[in-house]
């Protein structure tokens, strides 16, 4: 199990949280997820899913992953 924290730009409300949550939850391999304005915390099975795929889902929902 791998855990990551991803900072997200462009989120400002609970609607944004819902859009990002829906996009990330749809990914196979997510085990636990906490989405807040500006932050995604995810636990996932690295044998099934990669961090880059989570970032792509966030981008696909219309938000920018902040560079670390």
- φ, ψ of residue 37 to 5 degrees: the values are -60, 115
**Distances, alpha carbon 54 to alpha carbons 29, 35, 47, 58, in Å:** 10, 12, 14, 6
CA dist., res. 6 & res. 55, Å (int): 8
Strand partners, 35: 40
**pLDDT, tens digit, 9 for 90 and up, residues 4-18:** 999 999 999 999 999
Domain boundary assignment for the chain: 2-65
Note the CATH architecture for domain 2-65.
2-Layer Sandwich (3.30)
CA dist., res. 65 & res. 62, Å (int): 10
Confidence check: pLDDT of 68 > 70:
no
Mean residue pLDDT across the chain: 95
Confidence check: pLDDT of 53 > 90:
yes
Confidence check: pLDDT of 55 > 70:
yes
Q: pLDDT value at position 67?
A: 79
Q: pLDDT value at position 7?
A: 97
């Amino acid at each position: 199990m791998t855990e990551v924290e991803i900072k997200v730009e462009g989120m400002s409300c609970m609607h944004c949280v819902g859009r990002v949550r829906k996009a990330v939850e749809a990914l196979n391999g997510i085990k636990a997820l906490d989405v807040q304005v500006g932050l995604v915390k995810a636990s996932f099975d690295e044998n099934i899913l990669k961090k880059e795929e989570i970032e792509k889902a966030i981008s696909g929902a219309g938000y920018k992953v902040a560079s670390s």
